[in-house]
Structure 1
Amino acid sequence: MTGSVLSGFRLLQSSTAAMLRPLEGALRAAGPSLLFGFRLWVSVSLAFYAAFWLQLSNPFWAGASAAIVCQPQLGASLRKGWFRMLGTFVGAVVSVVLIACFPQDRVLFLVALALWAAACAFVATLLRNFASYAASLAGYTAAIIAGDLLGTVGGVDANAAFMLAVTRATEICLGIGCAGIVLAGTDFGGARRRLATLFAELAGDVTAGLTGTLATGTTGTEFRDMQTVQRELDRRVIALDPIVDQALGESSEIRYYAPVLQRAVEGLFSALVGWHAVASHLATLPHNEPHQEAAAVLKNLPQELRSAPEPGAAARWLAGPEAVHRIYQTAIPPLTALPAETPSLRLLADKTAEAFAGIAHALDGLALLVGDPARPALRPGRDRLHVPDWLPALVSAGRTFVTIVTVSLFWVVTGWPGGGLAMTFAAIATLLLAPRFEETYGVAVLIVIAAILDLILSAIVAFAVLPGLPTHAFAAFSLVMGVCLVPMGTLLRAARQPWQVGLLTPMTMVFVPILQPTNPETYDTLQFYNIALAIVAGLGAAALSFRLLPPLSPAFRARRLLTLTLRDLRRLAKRPTQSDWERRVIGRLAAMPNEVAPLLRAQLLATLSVGSEIVYLLHSAHQFDLGANLGAALEALAEGRSKSAIVHLSRLDEVLATERAQGPGTRDVLRARAAILGVSQALATHAAFFDAGAPR
């Protein structure tokens, strides 16, 4: 009897465990998302507790700031917090300066505020990541303070300007500090390891693509397939930028060596450019030559690089980046010293070496991230900021100015008590979305929907839940906030679709400003709905502005980038003074929209290659006395006459070929002829592009 009971108990236990196993897996998978929801709740509650204890006038700005700063990644949260403090300080100072300049003139004050916001939108569009966010914040912090300073019809209260600016800045910084304390104490971050993994994977994928191209050659169909693969790799390299910023937020050591990571990203772009040049050249060769010359290049590579990296190679690279870096470094000298007999082989060897040098720079970044003691990273100097295109920033500035002026004018004319808050949230939405190019109107609409959902939730909390709580029961108030914020944060952390992120992110940010809890709590229905309507109206005005004044389309931006790069190439041909040619064009390659056709990306890569070869030929001009033929070719290129440029380059190649006697300068002569060959092939392949807009 006892045995049957025990066997029945074991059967029940095993069946129960089998039934609970899926639930256990689901809870384990939901653990990180649920943990972030609790972090969001604790951050906001701590900010409210501190604001209530300090008896600040509008404590909801502290809670709202904590919710805005709290991000699923630790590095993003801390980095965003520092930049938010900087932007808050600048915005508060500017608001006081504007009041001092226009103490009695509301029209000039509002126009000056709109101009300041437009300038912030301009800078936010030029910068990236959290630096861009700081510029946006500097604009809408001034709008927040201005909205409180102005009366129902826009009258300026100059006497309260300084203290109000200090109070608002204190509330915002308090929320930032509370969120930073909670996140730093509960999350050790993973951006550094994630970035290192991405560097290793991308370096391996580019190596696989390059060696695969050398091993198989390139036909027309294979070249088009390679362009598709390269476009995806471009997208992945561009996507490294925000992760780099997150890693900088997690570690002061990484932040000190930030230029090393920037050089690592540029190295990946350089590797892609070298791979594209190799594939483009192989596609132009006769049927048998590509395999012969590619085989000669492969023969001079280390055994580890002659084939694609094996599965799991990224993990080994993370464990020992110095050994992998040594392999790539040792591959470069044999390629540059390869005894090539033809300019074609010289071109293949040099471009392959350039690609491996770029990957070696990426491995420098990998070594820094994994803390490899065998390879200390030396910190290079600061890089100059390159702006791919000024026009998108001007469009953002113009849209922001028109939106704020329009909402302010409506406020002054109607005397609506909620007009100041509507202006503030119109400024917030336009400034936050200013750096974004794609689907800004759709994102703005999602923000409005999120505000409406928050309005419904806030009304339930404000009039059905909070009145039943004891007057000074902060624990009960915090529990109510947790019931609302924990599910929001959990769903945001688990969101995978863009529309889900676009809806849940503003829900976590707008909930507290709509609810606007005070200490003690007030229950003014008319005031609540006036505030809620003002917030929704301001966000709606921002959405309408993106509909009426949309960002530049991806196709238009791509054509602009190509036109600007072609203009710079012609300037380089006329006046070879641009020492940073490659970095400038790589910046435009990173700014190229992902939706554009592969041909446009190929044209930009061809322009980059032509400019780099021109720089090399100009540096070599004194050594080989290139003389009039090079000058005539550059003049024809600057004037948009590619056929004439090819003719002059062919004459220059003939001159160099006659000087090719066996001697110490043979390799340099072949390298110059390879540069001429690369320029001629690019001009012939994309003649219509290089001749575009030329005077006739």
Structure 2
Amino acid sequence: MRRCRRRFRCGSVIPRASRSFLRTALINADTCSSAVRLWSPTAVVDALKTSLGILIAWGIALQLQWPDPFMAPLAVLVLQTPFLGASLRKGVMRVLGTLAGAALALVLIGLFVQEPWILLTLLSLILVISVYHMRLSSYGYAWFMVALAVSVIVWDASAAPHTVFQAAIYRTSEAIIGILVVLVVNGILWPRTAGHRYLDQQRHVLVELAGHLRRTGAAVTSEGAVGFAPMPKALLRAPPELRELLAAAKLDSSRVQRRHRTYEAQIQALTASLGSMMGLSENLRLAAVGRRAFLTQPQRQVLREALEQLASALEAAGTAASQASSAAVPPSTPPRQDATVNGSTADGITEAAAVALAAAEACRQPLLTGPSLAQQTAGDSALAHALAAQLQALASDVERLVEASTAVGSDRALPTGKLPRELVVPWRRRVALAGPNALATGLAFWVLVVLWVNVQWPPLGLLAVVMAVVLIGGPTLKKTEALPSAKLTVLGFVLGILITAPIYLMVMPRLDGFFELALVLFPVYFTITYCLQVLPPPYQSMFLRIGILAIMLLNVEPQQLYSAVSYIDTALSIGTGFLVGVGALALLNGAPPHVQVRHHIKRLLSSLSQAQVALADFGAANFAAAVAHHDQHLRAELQGLSELLPAAYTPRVPHNDHERIEALGDALTGLVTRFRGLQQARLRWGVQLRDQGLGTSLGRQLLGPFVTTYQAFIQKLDHPALPASVAALDAITHDVRRELSRIDGYRHNEQVNPDNLYTLTIAGHYIAVMHALRELAAALDEIDWTAWRAPDP
């Protein structure tokens, strides 16, 4: 055993060494990028800030002579985010959670220090409750710090209970130092906020949607179906991506937290606009290829003008988002007539957007009257009536999107009546989401306690508990059901040992002062944090493990002791905690990410099937409430799936590459978006048709085949050898075409009644869902489900 002592002194050397640190960082970045062929200037900046912050936190803790000051640099490692406000909010929650955990630890030690089993039982209950709330609460990080702080302080005080108060003071002070360092470094070196990133993405989406509207308008006046391109993938992916940014922006500032329902209204309006646009485009495409009656050339020009005006309104909203000071409508601007049926007025949008929306609404009437109908009888205008109704729906959705986007850009809330309802998660679903990880924490705790009591393993029992809490807390905080990879956890542990052991045992005893130590540690921390930032999931988690080891195993103290036995004991305790945590999660929460993807898709398809049945029940007294419930559920399922899909790739199944997984996600997103467009179209007509006793044979024809197709896809996931059958859709194709021909027969009827008009209006949405199901079938067949197949947990 080698044991020696070295005193590290922290002076004012860190600022003078910044240039050397930067040169070393750039060299390391070049080396890392050439090795893994990944390069990201943003990752370089984030790694630079994190590495400097870790060293500064070490330096402050050493200067203040705190024993075992690892919590301060660990705080920097986990608090450092790309966004300043998110780091601040996480830091505040870290301090509050640490204070709460410290108070609980003081109570436990003070009351039950002579009753170890009662103490351990209460500690396990605190950990289980904390992890449960981590999954569900918007203050999940504070609950994480409660669990971490109470276990760390009890660990500190287990050998010497009289030091518990001092340990609580030290750990809380280290958390405060960590947040202050992060805020100073983030505030000085290239500060960024998630709110600005959200606004940038919002502007990009509005411009992209405006471009799609213009391209569709141009296709209307062209010959044939040329130009009727599908919805761009960037737009289909936009709602879940915006929600991910919104989650970060809610951490970024209290302003976004207060206005989050307005932001959610914007995302929902975007989804509704996409669904309405796809239904309209499908009607136009069917007409253009000769399967449906089309419009006269004057009517086409009017429709193109309407789409261009809607595009102009979106562009005006995008401009307002980038110039928030001019976003609000001046008080002198007169209110305009809304495009909705009830004739209400809309306030709070720019004058340019209001003019464009009014012009789009003005284009609707010429579709139904005027010289454009000279070539048609009254019955020939049936499709024109349907397209006018769809245009009205699209204009209403675009107006909602414009109004919400303007409100977001000008930092104000929408009126209460226009805000979406909060998603209420049933208690059974809450238990299903949060229960497994909470129980896994309790199981890991008692496994480690029993091991330590019976065989004195691991050497530092409560340290292993702390590491198990850290490992289980990671996926819990991310609100994902993806299971941490045991192989990557072991690999991260081994790499952490290989990196830190030579430094701790051979290099650090030869150093003299903190300046030399910083020069040695900076390249190590920079390389780890750079790879942590630049690598995709699940490899990020491996480097997070390495970063934790690189802080805890180096064990920098004011009076540094170098002990091989102490190093090995700490390493074995950390490794045992990691492995027990992974084992507990595997036992209670399931399966690898690709298996979780299969379960998520099955739930999503089952939800779609139930929503399809509910959509057919116009006579239900709570029809609108039922549709809204299913819509919220589908949104939540799709969001969870979008967060899980990137982690599904594994090198052992090269056939299921990132491109195929991404295509599967796009197909599912496209199906849900088209179905939600169908939901909104049915809602707009629901009351009117129920009052008049009207219906649509097309919906009745397609209900059974749609449900059968959903079930066939679920069967495909359970039995990978089977194809994703669309036989039910193939069987109904002839009847659907006959129905479309019957609709076209309305051209020879002198009267357009509401039943006919509804059938024409809704047909495009149903056909769009049919096409989305066929696209999903192709995407499902492209995945090698046999290689991904695993028994249900």
Which secondary structure state, in structure 2, belongs to the residue aligned with residue 523 of structure 1? strand
**Distance of 1:342 and 1:591 partners within structure 2:** 44
Partner of 1:514: 553
**Distance of 1:225 and 1:402 partners within structure 2:** 53
1:144 to 146, 152, 170: 152
Residues 512-552 of structure 1, C-alpha deviations (whole Å, 9 max, x = no match) = 12222122212222112211221122223334445553255
Partner of 1:410: 451
Mapped contact 2:207–2:318 kept (Cα < 8 A): no
**Distance of 1:496 and 1:313 partners within structure 2:** 37
Distance 1:56 1:213, change over 3 A: same
Query: For 1:551-562, what aligned pairs fall within 5 Å after superposition?
Result: 553-562=596-605
Partner of 2:188: 185
The letter of the residue matching 2:463 is L
**Distance of 1:510 and 1:100 partners within structure 2:** 32
Mapped contact 1:212–1:307 kept (Cα < 8 A): no
**Distance of 1:425 and 1:46 partners within structure 2:** 24
**Distance of 1:626 and 1:166 partners within structure 2:** 72
Q: Deviation of residue 62 (structure 1)?
A: 1.2
Mapped contact 1:79–1:246 kept (Cα < 8 A): no
Q: Deviation of residue 399 (structure 1)?
A: 3.8
Which secondary structure state, in structure 1, belongs to the residue aligned with residue 561 of structure 2? coil
Distance 1:457 1:491, change over 3 A: same
The letter of the residue matching 2:466 is T
Partner of 1:620: 688
Query: For 1:81-96, what aligned pairs fall within 5 Å after superposition?
Result: 81-93=91-103, 95=105
Distance 1:60 1:639, change over 3 A: closer
Partner of 2:358: 330
The sequence identity of aligned pairs, in percent, is: 18
Distance 1:302 1:159, change over 3 A: farther
Superposition TM-score, scaled by structure 1 size:
0.72
Q: Deviation of residue 70 (structure 1)?
A: 1.7
Query: For 1:35-74, what aligned pairs fall within 5 Å after superposition?
Result: 35-74=45-84
Query: For 1:184-223, what aligned pairs fall within 5 Å after superposition?
Result: 184-189=187-192, 191-213=194-216, 216=219
The letter of the residue matching 2:230 is M
**Distance of 2:302 and 2:483 partners within structure 1:** 51
Query: For 1:104-183, what aligned pairs fall within 5 Å after superposition?
Result: 106-107=116-117, 109-110=119-120, 113-126=123-136, 131-150=139-158, 164-183=167-186
Mapped contact 1:260–1:377 kept (Cα < 8 A): yes
Superposition TM-score, scaled by structure 2 size:
0.65
Distance 1:33 1:395, change over 3 A: closer
**Distance of 1:331 and 1:119 partners within structure 2:** 57
Whether 2:484 is the aligned partner of 1:484: answer no
Partner of 2:639: 590
Residues 62-92 of structure 1, C-alpha deviations (whole Å, 9 max, x = no match) = 1211122123443443343234334434544
Mapped contact 2:58–2:69 kept (Cα < 8 A): yes
Partner of 2:267: 265
- Name whichever of 313-322 and 40-49 sits farther off: 313-322
Mapped contact 1:275–1:355 kept (Cα < 8 A): yes
Residues 549-590 of structure 1, C-alpha deviations (whole Å, 9 max, x = no match) = 325521221221332354466567775344844444333333
The letter of the residue matching 1:522 is L
Which secondary structure state, in structure 1, belongs to the residue aligned with residue 591 of structure 2? coil
**Distance of 1:350 and 1:40 partners within structure 2:** 55
Distance 1:123 1:235, change over 3 A: farther
Which secondary structure state, in structure 1, belongs to the residue aligned with residue 230 of structure 2? helix
Partner of 1:527: 566
Q: Deviation of residue 245 (structure 1)?
A: 4.0
**Distance of 1:480 and 1:43 partners within structure 2:** 15
Q: Deviation of residue 477 (structure 1)?
A: 3.9
1:384 to 422, 440, 443: 422
**Distance of 1:462 and 1:501 partners within structure 2:** 24
The letter of the residue matching 1:608 is R
**Distance of 1:483 and 1:686 partners within structure 2:** 50
Q: Deviation of residue 60 (structure 1)?
A: 1.0
Mapped contact 2:209–2:311 kept (Cα < 8 A): no
**Distance of 1:361 and 1:497 partners within structure 2:** 36
Partner of 1:433: 475
Q: Deviation of residue 456 (structure 1)?
A: 3.1
The letter of the residue matching 1:454 is G
Which secondary structure state, in structure 2, belongs to the residue aligned with residue 441 of structure 1? coil
Partner of 2:786: none
Unaligned 5+ residue runs, structure 1? 1-21, 152-156, 689-696
The letter of the residue matching 2:269 is G
Mapped contact 1:126–1:393 kept (Cα < 8 A): yes
- Name whichever of 179-188 and 431-440 sits farther off: 431-440
Whether 2:657 is the aligned partner of 1:608: answer no
Residues 28-54 of structure 1, C-alpha deviations (whole Å, 9 max, x = no match) = x98765554442233223323443454
**Distance of 2:125 and 2:384 partners within structure 1:** 57
**Distance of 1:667 and 1:84 partners within structure 2:** 64
Mapped contact 2:203–2:321 kept (Cα < 8 A): yes
Unaligned 5+ residue runs, structure 2? 1-25, 32-38, 328-349, 369-379, 646-660, 709-727, 775-793
**Distance of 1:528 and 1:175 partners within structure 2:** 24
Mapped contact 1:426–1:538 kept (Cα < 8 A): yes
Partner of 1:564: 607
Which secondary structure state, in structure 2, belongs to the residue aligned with residue 268 of structure 1? helix
Mapped contact 1:199–1:363 kept (Cα < 8 A): no
Whether 2:464 is the aligned partner of 1:422: answer yes
